[in-house]
């Protein structure tokens, strides 16, 4: 196949076109702010977004802070897309763990003693 000028079409340069985690261009792009969604899209429901080859969950907590989290709850892997936005963060719909905009687990209501390991759980915040 040739271009409109009769030149051979070059193969895509994967060092420039691949942007997933661990790729050269992906690591470069992750060093800069990226637009993820419109601020107006972050209302009472979390929003699934895909950027740089990664699926993530965007939300705005009750205090107005924006968060971007790995889409799976760090407890049993339930999708945080179905979570409930609360004042302090996003609560998982399955067992109710609460994650703040930084991805810190703030509450584990179903765990013994209120969750002794609350501060040790991080769901891999995307920001
Ligand atoms: S799967 Fe999210 S709290 Fe259990």
In this prediction, what percent of the chain has a pLDDT beyond 70? 90
122 lines ligand 1 (CB under 6 A): no
Is the C-alpha dihedral spanning 11, 17, 20, 26 positive or negative? Answer: positive
- In tens, the pLDDT along 56-86 reads 999 999 999 999 999 999 999 999 999 999 9
For residue 73, give the ligand 1 atom closest to its CA.
2
Closest CA relative to residue 86, chosen from 74, 100, 73: 100
CA of 121 to the centre of ligand 1 (A): 12
pTM score of the predicted model: 0.82
pLDDT (mean) for 90-119: 86
* Test site for ligand 1: of 70, 79, 80, 97, most ligand atoms within 8 A of the Cβ: 97
């Amino acid at each position: 196949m040739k271009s409109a000028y009769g030149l051979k079409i070059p193969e895509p340069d994967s060092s420039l076109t691949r942007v997933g985690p661990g790729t050269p261009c992906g690591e470069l792009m992750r060093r800069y702010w990226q637009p993820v969604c419109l601020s107006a899209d972050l209302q009472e429901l979390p929003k699934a977004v895909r950027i740089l080859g990664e699926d993530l969950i965007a939300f705005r907590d009750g205090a107005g802070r924006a968060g971007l989290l790995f889409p799976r709850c760090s407890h049993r892997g339930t999708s945080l897309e179905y979570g409930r936005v609360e004042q302090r963060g996003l609560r998982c719909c399955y067992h109710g763990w609460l994650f703040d905009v930084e991805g810190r687990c703030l509450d584990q209501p179903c765990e013994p003693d209120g969750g002794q390991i609350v501060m040790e759980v991080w769901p891999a915040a995307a920001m």
